[in-house]
Amino acid sequence: MGKMIELTASDGHKLSAYRADPDGKSATAGKPRGAIVVIQEIFGVNSHIKSVADGYAADGYVAIAPALFDRVKKGVDLGYSPEDIAQGREIRGKVTNDMAMKDVEVAVKAASSAGKVGIVGYCWGGFIAWLAASKIAGLSCAVPYYGGGILDNTELAPKVPLMGHFGDKDQHIPVEGVKKLAAKYPQHPIFIYTADHGFNCDQRGSYNAAAAKQARERTLEFFRKHLG
């Protein structure tokens, strides 16, 4: 459904991104509801992230998934084996938050021609979405899924409406910490599911269909409210 495009960040870095547009035959034909920037896990802009973008496009949004690993290694497209996880972690370790913010910023700008822009991120991308909610202009809302690193950066108050999704079996993100986060920001809905880290990804062993469906329905309702 989508296509690869090239974006140029404020410092001149050129990165690829996957862009999916709403199907012209849908009820929203001609005019998107808004736009969503989709932030990758540590596995690059792989088939799963593309399918997530396609899903939001089918719901009437322009979806752009910037390749945040391009600064370290271009065209990263990993699976979920232990080797892939090790490789993804190694690359992620070389991508600074500052690099990621520059690349998210240009994706938000590119998406803004479609209307209001929201951001959704998964795993590492959830953390990037959390950072973006406090640092990047032009966003209307943010939805981090199980972002490792959020609990270490709870002092970064989101500047836009935010909805968080976490799993209570997540070994990386202690549920007690998530409860404290929810208590600190009562104005932002934080949901905890009976699920593991990565529960949204249907290519991972931790996939939880019920939690993924419920989280996506809540997220879509949130985007309808804040984007259109």
- The answer to whether 201 is a known catalytic residue is no
pTM (2 decimals)? Answer: 0.97
For residues 123 and 203, is the Cβ–Cβ distance under 8 A?
no
Question: pLDDT truncated to tens, each residue of the chain (228 aa)?
Answer: 799 999 999 999 999 999 999 986 555 456 899 999 999 999 999 999 999 999 999 999 999 999 999 999 999 999 999 999 999 999 999 999 999 999 999 999 999 999 999 999 999 999 999 999 999 999 999 999 999 999 999 999 999 999 999 999 999 999 999 999 999 999 999 999 999 999 999 999 999 999 999 999 999 999 999 999
DSSP character string of 38-80: EE--TTBS-HHHHHHHHHHHHTTEEEEEE-TTTTTSTT-B--S
Indicate which residue of 48, 165, 197, 226 is catalytic. Answer: 197
Q: State the catalytic residue, choosing from 123, 165, 188, 226.
A: 123
Q: Give the pLDDT of residue 1.
A: 73
3-state SS, residue 220: helix
196 annotated active-site: no
What is the pLDDT at residue 24? 60
Q: How far apart are CA 49 and CA 38, in angstroms?
A: 8
- Rounded Cα distance between 180 and 151, Å, is 9
Active site residue 170: yes
User: How many Cβ atoms from other residues are within 10 Å of residue 41's Cβ?
Assistant: 26
Question: What pLDDT does 23 receive?
Answer: 80
How far is Cα 51 from Cα 20, in angstroms, rounded to an integer? 9
User: Which has the closest alpha carbon to 208: 165, 162, 179?
Assistant: 165
pLDDT tens per residue across span 34-73: 999 999 999 999 999 999 999 999 999 999 999 999 999 9
Domain extents in the chain: 3-226
Q: Which CATH architecture has domain 3-226?
A: 3-Layer(aba) Sandwich (3.40)
Per-residue pLDDT tens for 150-159? 999 999 999 9
Annotated catalytic residue within 70, 170, 188, 196: 170
